[in-house]
Chains A and B, each alone.
Chain A
C-alpha cells in the first residue's frame, strides 16, 4: 500500500533518516515510535508525499511519489487520511464544514452526504459541537475532529501523527478505540507516538507491529514493549 525503499532524508547538511525500508500492507496496524526529534513526523510526511526523500524511493498505491504531478498528488491525498500533529483547521468555518472539507474540495456535495457526516460526528462524539468554530474546541475535541476529517473520504490508509499528543489518558483511549475500529474495518493504520502505554493498550486489542526510529534507522521493535 505504502512502501519506503531505502529511503533517506537529509536537510541542511544533517541526515535525519537513512536507509529506511518499510512496507505497510493492507489491513496492518503499525506504531512508529522513537524519541522526540528522531524523525517520526518526517517519516509520515515521506509516506504521504509532503516531503520528497533525498535518497531511495517512496511508493504509494503502486506509484512512485516522485513521479506524481501536483494534481495526482492531490488525488493521492484523498486516499490517505492524515491526522496532523497540530491538527490544523479552517478557523472561520464551523466544525461540521471542517470535517466535510475533504468532500467539499473533491467536488462532492457535502449536503448530500449529510447523513454520513452526522453519523461520523456521532462516532467521534462531536455531534453537539457541529456549529462550533475550531478555536473554541478543546485539545481532545480537535484531535477527534482531525480524525473524523481524515476518515470522511473513507481512505485506505490513515496516518496519525501523535494523535493523543495533548489529550488525557481517557481521551487517548477513546481515540485509540476509534483507530482500532477503523483497522477492523480493513483500514491500514500508522500511528506515530511515543506513548508506550497507548501502544500496550493497542497491543491487547489488535495485532500491532511497532517500528522504532533509533540512530536514524528504522527497526522493528521486539517483544519488550
Chain B
C-alpha cells in the first residue's frame, strides 16, 4: 500500500465510490458493529490502563516501606524499641526509621476498636516505620541481627503480600490488552465478512468494470473506501459513547478502593481517540485483502 493510494482514498475519489451501488441496510450494520466494538474497546482500555496504574502504584508504595513490630512485655517495650531503632540507623540501606507515636497507633486501630480506645489497656505492640533507601537493605541479615539483639522484633517488609496484589493487577492489565486484541480481531473478521458479502452482491458490477478496463486497484478502492469510512464513523460514535460512560463512573476515592479507580487520567484520555483510527486501519486492511482475494478469482 503506497502512501499515494492512501491519500487518494482519504481525499476521496467520488467517481470510484459511485460505481458501487449504495447499500442501505448492511452499511448500517457495519456502522453499528464498529461502534459497539469501539465502545467495548474503550472499557477494555480503561481497565488495562487503570490496572497498570494500580500495579505501578502498589509496587512503588509498598516496595519503599517496611514495618518493624516490637512484641515485648510493657516494661521492656521502650528499651527494645530504642535498641531496634539503634540497629536500624546502623543498617545500610535504610533511609529512616521512626517509632510511631501513641496517637498514630490509636488512629490506625480506631477503625476496628472505636475512637475511645485507651492503648494502655491493650498489649499493643510498638510499630516502627522503616523507609528503605535506594539500594535497599539486606532483610535476611537485619532479621538475624534483630533476633539476636531485640528478641521481640518482627520485621514485615510487605513483599509477602505485595507480590500477589501486584501480580493480580498485572494480570488484569494483560487481560485488558488481550480483550483489546480480541476486539480488533473480531472487528477485522466482521469487516471481512461484510466486505465479502458486498463483493459477491456486486459481482456483476465488478464484471462490468473489468470489461471496460478498470484495474483491480480501482475496483478495490471503491469498496475499501466505503468500509474504511464506515468503520471510522462507527468507531468514533462508539468511542464517544464509551468515553461518556467512563466519565460517568465514580471518581477514584479512598473508600471505594480499587474499583473506583477505573478510567483514564491525564494524557491517557487521548488513548481512546486512537481507537477509531485503529478501527479504520483494521477495516482498510480487511477490505483490501478481501477485495484482492475476490478479484483474483475473476478474469
Contact = CB atoms under 8 A, between A and B. Distances in A.
Interface of A: 49-51, 70-71, 74-78, 82, 84, 88-93, 97, 101-102, 104-106, 110, 149, 153
Contact of B213 (A77, A92, A110): A77
Given A70-B216, A71-B216, A90-B205, A77 B21 contact: no
B182 interface: no
B282 to A, nearest CB: 26
Given A74-B215, A75-B213, A102-B213, A90 B208 contact: yes
Contacts of B216: 70-71, 74
A88 B207 contact: yes
A77 B212 contact: yes
A49 B210 CA distance: 11
A78 B213 contact: yes
Nearest to A70: B216
Interface string B196-233: 00000000110111111111111000000000000000
Nearest to A109: B15
Looking at chain B's contact residues, the main secondary structure is helix
A50 B80 CA distance: 98
B160 interface: no
B19 interface: yes
Nearest to B219: A105
Contacts of A106: 213-214
Interface of B: 15, 18-19, 21-22, 204-205, 207-218, 295-296, 299
A74 B214 contact: yes
Contacts of B213: 74-78, 102, 105-106, 153
5 contacts: A70-B216, A70-B295, A74-B216, A78-B213, A90-B208
B19 A105 contact: yes
Contacts of B295: 70
Contact of B19 (A77, A84, A93, A153): A93
Contacts of B299: 49-51
Nearest to B208: A88
A91 B19 CA distance: 10
B212 A92 contact: no
B270 to A, nearest CB: 39
A76 B212 CA distance: 10
Nearest to B295: A70
A76 B215 CA distance: 11
A93 B209 CA distance: 13
A149 B214 CA distance: 13
Contacts of B21: 90-92
Given A74-B216, A102-B213, A106-B213, 5 more contacts: A50-B211, A74-B213, A78-B213, A105-B19, A105-B215
Nearest to A76: B213
Nearest to A108: B15
Nearest to B215: A74
A193 B212 CA distance: 22
Contacts of B296: 70
Nearest to B211: A82
Contact of B212 (A50, A75, A101): A101
Given A50-B299, A105-B218, A90 B19 contact: yes
Contact of A105 (B22, B204, B207, B212): B212
A102 B295 CA distance: 18
B211 to A, nearest CB: 6
Given A88-B204, A110-B15, A149 B22 contact: no
A50 B208 CA distance: 12
Contacts of B19: 90, 93, 101, 104-105
Most buried by B among A78, A84, A105, A149: A105
A110 B211 CA distance: 18
